[in-house]
Amino acid sequence: MSTFLHRLDSLVTSPAAQHIATAWRGMTNLLIPNPCALCIWSDAEIHQLCRVCLGLLKEQTRQIIQAQDFADALPLDLVTGQPLPVFAASFYTPEMAKLALNFKDHQRIKLARAFRPIMYRTLQHAAAHLGSSHYRLVPIPASGASMRKRGYNPVTTMLPRRLPGALAYDAGLLKTRWQIFAQTSHHGTGVQARRAASQKKFRLAHRHVPPAEPVILIDDVLTTGATLGAATKLLQSAGFDVAAAVVLSAVMPRS
């Protein structure tokens, strides 16, 4: 299963996949001025989806999923042995995969308008479920290379501006390391090697005194959990209490 997930991980972020998406949209643009980011046959509204596809997105994000059991590289709680809780707004369905890929292309940045209410609801659900009143929300940062290429971080872009209850962002806390974690280390390696590679992904912005409130990490897609694992370990080593993670979608293991 993990090989499949690693392949999927590199596939959805591959330049080839993005070029195909761009070329395909180029063709359909001749017929429909503003094609829906999902079905591409209908005209899209402000959030870049047609009415039918927005309805489909709502349907697929109706039930918030506890996704920690599907990811084998999540950190385990030292006391309980349980993996870090991950709340996902949806499974990584073919539709969510297409939207996530499109969203990483600048021309589809307005999909954020469709994602923000979904993330709001998922964060609200996670906070209520975890039971503390205050949480510090820490988004997974984009690497320097992808920031230069896109000009934005898809994870922070899909977050709601206003937050439910006593949640607050700490978007600057995690930084990526400037030496970009080598893509080659993801090829043909097991979970161990990948875990080792991803531990070098992040650094803390500065020496923080860990605050009283626990952290909720935020990412777009959960595959193996290696990224959330690396972020959790770094934060824990600096004294932070990492309570959970919230993601837009989680990859299902193939049965």
* Residue range at the interface with Zn ion (CB under 5 A); choices 13-21, 44-52, 67-75, 136-144: 44-52
What is the full DSSP assignment across 215-243? EEEEEEEESSSHHHHHHHHHHHHTT--EE
Q: Is residue 39 a contact point for Zn ion (CB under 5 A)? A: yes
**Footprint (CB under 5 A) of Zn ion, residues 46-105:** 50, 53
Residues 169-188 that bind Zn ion (CB under 5 A): none
CA separation for the pair 134, 196 (Å, rounded): 32
Q: How far is the CB of 52 from Zn ion (least distance, A)?
A: 5
What is the torsion angle, in degrees rounded to the nearest 10, for the CA atoms of residue 85, residue 121, residue 210 and residue 71?
20
Residue whose C-alpha is closest to residue 70's, from 196, 224, 179: 224
> 15: exposed, middle or buried (C-beta count within 10 Å: 0-12, 13-18, 19+)?
exposed
Which window, 5-13, 34-42, 60-68, 84-92, contacts Zn ion (CB under 5 A)? Answer: 34-42
Shortest CA distance to 133 belongs to which of 120, 142, 124, 141?
124
The first and second tokens of residue 231, run together, are 């972020």
How many binding residues for Zn ion (CB under 5 A)?
6
- Least CB distance to Zn ion at residue 45 (A): 10
Q: Which is nearer to Zn ion, 42 or 199 (CB)?
A: 42
Q: Which is nearer to Zn ion, 37 or 250 (CB)?
A: 37
Task: Kindly report the backbone phi and psi dihedral angles of residue 204, in degrees, each rounded to the nearest multiple of 5, phi listed first.
Answer: -90, 145
Q: Is 38 in the site for Zn ion (CB under 5 A)?
A: yes
| DSSP tag of 44 | -
Q: For residue 235, what are the contacts with CB-CB under 8 A and spacing of at least 6?
A: 138, 173, 174, 204, 215, 242
Choose which of 12, 21, 36, 246 interacts with Zn ion (CB under 5 A): 36
C-beta of 49 vs 228, nearer to Zn ion: 49
CB under 5 A: which stretch of 4-12, 45-53, 149-157, 242-250 binds Zn ion? 45-53
**Least distance CB 215 / Zn ion (angstroms):** 36
| Nearer residue to Zn ion within complex by CB, 39 or 163 | 39
Residues that bind Zn ion (CB under 5 A): 36, 38-39, 42, 50, 53
